[in-house]
Amino acid sequence: MDTTDPEIRFDEDGVCNHCHTYDEFIRTSVVAGEEGLRHLNRRVDEMKSDGKGRKYDCVLGVSGGVDSSFAALKAKQLGLRPLAVHLDNGWDSELAVKNVENICRKLDIDLFTWVLDWEEFKDLQLAFLKASTPDSEIPSDHAIWSAVWKMMRRYGVKDLLTGCNARTESHLPAAWSQGHFDWRYIRSIHKKHGTVALRQFPGIRFPQYWWYRKTTRTTHILNYIDYRKTEAMPILQREIGWKYYGGKHYESIYTRFYQGYILPVKFGFDKRRCHLSSLICSGEITRQQALDELKNDTYPVDLQREDRAYVIKKLGLTEAEFEEIMRLPKKRYQDYPNYGRIYDGQAWKTLRRAYRGARSLCGGGVR
């Protein structure tokens, strides 16, 4: 990590705040070894008990990437009956689609694919590009969580499994991307720059977000096993015919182009820095290996050119219009109306303390 994160801080030993945050995440979120397996088995027993009489024990979002694919494999090995939910936003690579199909067919997992209305979603993505913030992946991330939560409610499922894991995903700077659950932020950008009404897009209003968070039991399954990506990939290849797609989140063509071209060229943000930093802290690679990787192009230049032409055409832009977007003055999350001001305000903090106190008195505890 470096000062391309404008909010980075270094201590007297030259260690940045992201590494300190990583250590805290590992301490509070990861349970390793036999203790981790015992904890995971207890959670599995609870899911199976609550799932009695229902079609599914839990819901799991799948993208075709290594983390969610390995989470699906592990869930089946533990005897769970998950419903896999995949979001089709129009940008899946052929390889990602094949990975999802193989996972669900070979593991005998039911799959529900939530297909977004393309004209609405295209308009929302264009609005984010025109808003000129480094957050243009937020519409997809928001829709993924919404689809998963809505399917949980449809089937009366309390438990959500994820492929998120603290070991390899703990270095993302807020300045590079924030507001994923902030419907006010999303709506404000679309109101300013969009042209198509969002009638089908699965937005999460603030009351819904609060309800989903308080009624969902989330298990980050990879935090309770000795998970290493380098070891997981050959297992997936052998067990379910999974194939690697070239980079973190590159199972999506738009994500590949956005993270590999738009972010570094327009904003100077190379997300490989945070992904590699987490792998250094987890012990999977050395710092020198990461520095050597950063000397390479974000991904092959020929493929960048192909993706650029494809993205411009699919979004209905001309080359000149795309270049105009790339030249727009850079903006931040804080430059648009958002709920972040509420979360940071005293009234919200007071409400949170009151809620926690009430839950404690009622014996409910707080997640």
C-alpha to C-alpha distance for 54 and 45, rounded to whole angstroms: 15
| Tokens read off for 102 | 């193989």
What's the burial of 152, exposed, middle or buried (CB within 10 Å: 0-12/13-18/19+)?
buried
C-alpha to C-alpha distance for 222 and 92, rounded to whole angstroms: 24
Mark the ranges of the chain whose per-residue pLDDT is less than 70: 246-250, 341-367
How far, CA to CA in Å, does 242 sit from each of 181, 235, 249, 316?
30, 9, 15, 33
CATH number of 17-338: 3.40.50.620
**pLDDT score for 365:** 36
C-alpha to C-alpha distance for 338 and 335, rounded to whole angstroms: 9
How far, CA to CA in Å, does 351 sit from each of 45, 131, 337, 341?
34, 32, 21, 14
Which residues, in sequence order, are bridge partners of residue 87? 114
In this structure, are strands 217-220 and 159-162 parallel, antiparallel, or unpaired? parallel
CB atoms < 10 A from the CB of 5, how many?
20
**pLDDT score for 229:** 86
C-alpha to C-alpha distance for 231 and 110, rounded to whole angstroms: 26
Q: Output Rg (C-alpha) for the chain, integer angstroms.
A: 21
What's the burial of 56, exposed, middle or buried (CB within 10 Å: 0-12/13-18/19+)?
buried
Q: Could you tell me which of 365, 339, 362 has the C-alpha nearest to residue 184? A: 339
**pLDDT score for 251:** 75
Which residue in the block uniquely carries the two structure tokens 């809505």? 150
CB atoms < 10 A from the CB of 313, how many?
10
C-alpha to C-alpha distance for 156 and 6, rounded to whole angstroms: 43
C-alpha to C-alpha distance for 277 and 280, rounded to whole angstroms: 5
**pLDDT score for 248:** 58
CB atoms < 10 A from the CB of 199, how many?
7
**pLDDT score for 169:** 82
How far, CA to CA in Å, does 2 sit from each of 19, 171, 228?
12, 11, 25
* φ, ψ dihedrals at 244, nearest 5°: -75, 150
Q: For residue 51, give the 3-state DSSP assignment.
A: coil
Which residue in the block uniquely carries the two structure tokens 């590699």? 276
What's the burial of 140, exposed, middle or buried (CB within 10 Å: 0-12/13-18/19+)?
buried
Which residue in the block uniquely carries the two structure tokens 């995971």? 40
**pLDDT score for 172:** 85
